[in-house]
Structure 1
Amino acid sequence: MAMSRVTKLYAVEDCKIFPLLSDPAGGTAMYGEGIDVPGIKEMEISGDVEVKELRGDNGLLDSDSAISNVTVSYPHAKLSLDVLKALIVSTVTDSGTTPAQKTKWSMKQGAKPLPYKIEGKTPTGGSDAITGDVHFTLFKCVMSSFPGLGFAEEDYRTIENEARAVPLASTGEWVDVEINETATAIDTTATPAP
């Protein structure tokens, strides 16, 4: 019997981003190793549909539409300098020795957003299959607003990230939703696109 194509979506347990190293038209996209998005709180995917109407003879003759934009937002609870480095042309440097070690993220003038893949998943049982899960993957994203960094008075600061997703030039892959009968971890190895 085939697996159901309908499921609940409960919680988010893990999220990783993968730097997009290459995406040649007609070739194979390549990704770097996955980087954990620490303390993932939510993964929301939304989009816009552009509608065009053909009018004439004092009436509506036809209508057509196209998906014009897909975005993903993924707030997370902890700051990761490695995530920032994967989102924007920047550097992370470690220095010093205990008890004076430092790690520093630096962005300089001319920094540009970098493309990446993002994958998030529910915990085991976050789908209708008791031992299963659900994965959402967007294959090529670029930051659409600067990450929400800083501090909050007498409270924790949530890091806010938002990106625009576009199809891969190599394969046209855009968004995947995968329902698994048995839960699977997000594979973090550097890989070619499917």
Structure 2
Amino acid sequence: MLLTASFAASALAQQTSRIYDPSSNQWIVYDPAKVDRDATARGVTPERFKRKLVPFRTSEPPGTIIIDTDRKFLFYVLPNFQAIRYGVGVGKEGFGWSGEVYVGRKAEWPSWTPTPDMIERDPSLTEYVTGMPGGIENPLGARALYLYQSGRDSLYRIHGTNEPWSIGLNVSSGCIRMNNADVEDLFSRAPVGTKVIVLKQGAALFQPS
């Protein structure tokens, strides 16, 4: 009973926490969801999706990438039950997927070629049917890790983005997008051959903090 009461008190405190809003010169009730929405509206990544070292218990060996599409986090497993946690953008409704793949190749400032399905949905992409050169305007951002399964390109990637506001959202056509600085960091850590696990919706193969 004491535990239940403490939990309820904690929840109430969180609901009634107040922060100072300099734009209105008033104290307002803190709403974490609103903070995320406001960050997105300003074109920046919400604070909770910033890169962070976290405790992480998993049976997977260090060097494994685990992607939680529900909570929009990518974990790079480290020794001693720790991981680097990155915020990600994932596939929008109808484009989600799960499974076990591996990094088949990597590229810096990769070129991008839309798939036939993408062109069918958006005919304006026909302009890039032979490929869009790498660069700051390229949808794949600064780095790309190409995900393979059974020796074949799955057509899914972990890649950068020039839209930092999209981190934490369901926005892509199935690829996993990261801030450019974060994908550069992951790129430097994960060699070709790295195991990548994309969790099914609602799955809990590990215990994040």
Q: TM-score range by the shorter chain?
A: under 0.3
* More helix as a share of residues: 2
Give the TM-score of the pair, scaled to structure 1.
Answer: 0.25
Greater relative contact order (CA < 8 Å, ≥ 6 in sequence) = 1
